[in-house]
A and B are shown apart, each in its own frame.
Chain A
Amino acid sequence: MKLELQKLNVKSLKFGDKTGFSDGVLAINKAELIALISEDPMLGKNIDADIAMPGESVRIMPVKDVIEPRWKIEGKGQVFPGMLSDVETVGEGKTLVLSGCAVLTAGKLVRFQEGIIDMSGPGADYTPYSKTCNVVLILEPSDPNMDKHDYETACRMAGLKAAAYLAKSCSGLQADSTEVYEMPKIRDAMNSYPELPKVGYIYMLQTQGLLHDTYLYGVDVKRILPTLISPLEVMDGAIVSGNCVSACDKNSTYSHLNNPVISDMLKRHGKDFNFVACIVTNENVTLADKRRSSSYATKLAAMLGLDGVVITEEGFGNPDADLIMNCRKSEQLGIKTALLTDEYAGQDGASQSLADSCPEGDACVTAGNANEVIKLPAMKKVIGYQEEANVIAGGWQGSLSDDGSITVELQAITGATSELGYTKLGAYTL
């Protein structure tokens, strides 16, 4: 399996007559973009699009998801299979990437779990999406009493459509850079690098209902048994986020596409270990499901004869139990583990960071304490609805001050404690 990512480096955005890319500038025909999104009868009339650039005094909230524009220009299938396109297997051929650009879905709140992105100021240091050139969709349901699941679906689809549309409109251009990824068949992988340990990645996905779901080839991941996936399929959008666990530790669709654990493991493949397999698993709401999935995921790792696995969590609280089960069961099967999570240690950092625990979890990296409080100064421009700061997860009644500043926990900032490890934040013990 071989995938070539052809990257156009987007350095600037502008609205223009024709959607396309030239000299680092992505031009967007706003009317055409809005018309495309508005095709969905579930979305209301007052849909808008805006742009937000790094360093600008702009706040975007509430943000539902972040998506990197991609479009397959060669090979089977199309990006976001099972969602936007057919269910055909992806991960081979050539895919165009608008690197440095992101589509943000914002607008009327679905549920409390949505987040804040500041493009400058102290909040910008915490979100990876203050460094991207952002195309923001401001959405609303066509009926204010619409079922929240339907509205969530509409917002999710709007983001995917916009991302695919933008990339598609730029196809046919010479790429600024090209990255080539190759994954051998498991049979061949098993025979390569006999001197190196065989390792895998247990990729946990949040799957607990409204604004807590994730999709794999369009399948609601709560309904799967853990299964194998190629990292190359992930790069083509096989995994799509439909959740905002809390905004800080939601794995956005963008961070799935650019999964930094996968990219680092690919980088070290053949040097420090033999990266053989990626196993996706879920975090469901019943104990039987949690036990079944952790047993099954670790069983797959054992069947493959893996010596070690990196395990990443999505979310916190009850998913800590899934993390611990995956860790303990792996270690009991003789498979060494390293864990990637984040912390809820209280605003003062003095409480236990996780809800569950096992002695086998002796190699644990965290993306920081999501309860730590930050003051976000007022921004000149707000895209969306700032008053939601008082109700979103990480905020409280009074989070938004009269002067437009917002005091919240980091958990309200999109991607701040990414458990795919997409930020440099961490914590240490005083």
Chain B
Amino acid sequence: MAFRIVHYINQFYAGIGGEEKADYKPEIRTGVVGPGMAFKGALKGEAEIVATVICGDSYFASNMDEAASAIIDMIREYKPDAFIAGPAFNAGRYGTACGAMCEAVSKEFGIPVISGMYPENPGVEMYRKHAWIVETPDSAAGMRKAVPAMAKLVLKLLKGEAVGRPSDEGYIERGIRKNMFYEKLAAERCVDMFVSKLKGETFETEYKMPVFDRVDPQPAVKDMKNAVIALVTSGGICPKGNPDHIEASSASKFGEYDITGVNDLTSETYCTAHGGYDATYADQDADRVLPVDVLRDLEKEGVIGKLHNKFYTTVGNGTSVANAKRFGAEIVNRLVNDGVTAVILTST
């Protein structure tokens, strides 16, 4: 039996119209529409486009969440094994819609999602971590090149075959690290690379040094005497026994703990869940990581308005930036809702 694919295209490729029809609301049609015909040949009967979703680019752009969830509902009954969006070439709004739908479908159904775009399409930067995006030329003239490449990759994914490097498979680098066993020990690979570098030969690093986001500095606190200060830590301080089982490494969650009436963290009441540093000192006196005692004094003396009655904690050990970002966003939400003025973050 052939694999089932649902295809996403915009109003233009569905033959409905150009910019004047870009507010076209999503609909689903059984079978292939527009470029789906070309995929039909390229999929060689191993997979079949069972339905095609059509949505106007402007409509999608102005109603992203709503459109995506409506489309998800439409797709459900077709029980797809994979999802193809586009190719969008260098069309920005179309590319963004393709990327967003790929992300939504992948989240909802956990199936392979694939699109095709020109590398400079803004949809690439936004969604390359969420979808396989085959590199295409910048205009529809490249359809004949894009479709076979996308079909080949989607079949590979459907069959569960290992996907090679971007340059070998023709997709745009997703920035996702995947383990593999090499022919040689890592030590030998390192000495090989070392020798190439010494000799001035070309070599390819196995990992390009990472880059991190930047955020604009927040304005200063004007009135500390009336400020509510919260404590947040990646040092794993938690009530003794780690009641929420925060992982010793690669944390999947953070803890929120009430410290109303707590003036000092002691070895009887608090410990660390962190598995990445010598816990002896934090277990003896958790104030060494989370300075509740000092902030209580400062609160009493009126230096700060109030120490927030909850602290937030996670384990920074081997925890991915993606998880940390997720925790950060959620913690900030809660702090803002609780009227916290500023946060002291401690890390180990």
Contact = CB atoms under 8 A, between A and B. Distances in A.
Contact of B177 (A199, A310, A317, A345): A345
A358 interface: yes
Interface stretch (B46-54, B65-73, B178-186): B178-186
Q: Is the interface of B mostly helix, strand, loop or mixed?
A: loop
Contacts of B275: 111-113, 246, 392-393
Interface in B166-198: 166, 173-191, 193-198
Interface of B: 129, 163, 165-166, 173-191, 193-199, 203, 205-212, 245, 247-250, 252, 275-280, 316-323
A73 to B, nearest CB: 28
A112 B197 CA distance: 39
Contact of A261 (B187, B196, B197, B209): B187
Contacts, number: 254
Given A424-B184, A427-B206, A350 B280 contact: no
Q: Is the interface of A mostly helix, strand, loop or mixed?
A: loop
A429 interface: yes
A353 B177 contact: yes
Interface of A: 111-113, 125, 148-149, 197, 199, 208-212, 245-246, 259-261, 263-265, 268, 272-273, 285, 307-308, 310, 312, 316-317, 336-341, 343-354, 357-359, 361-372, 390-397, 409-411, 418-430
B318 A423 contact: no
A64 B199 CA distance: 41
11 contacts: A113-B248, A209-B280, A260-B187, A272-B199, A317-B317, A340-B187, A345-B320, A359-B209, A362-B197, A364-B208, A393-B318
Contacts of B245: 390, 396-397
B195 A273 contact: yes
Given A261-B191, A392-B248, A149 B206 contact: no
A246 B207 contact: no
A421 B189 contact: yes
B206 A364 contact: yes
Contacts of A340: 186-187, 190
Contact of B278 (A212, A264, A350, A364): A212
A211 B275 CA distance: 10
A427 B180 contact: yes
A339 B198 CA distance: 13
B247 A209 contact: no
Nearest to A360: B209
Nearest to A340: B190
Contact of A363 (B174, B193, B276): B193
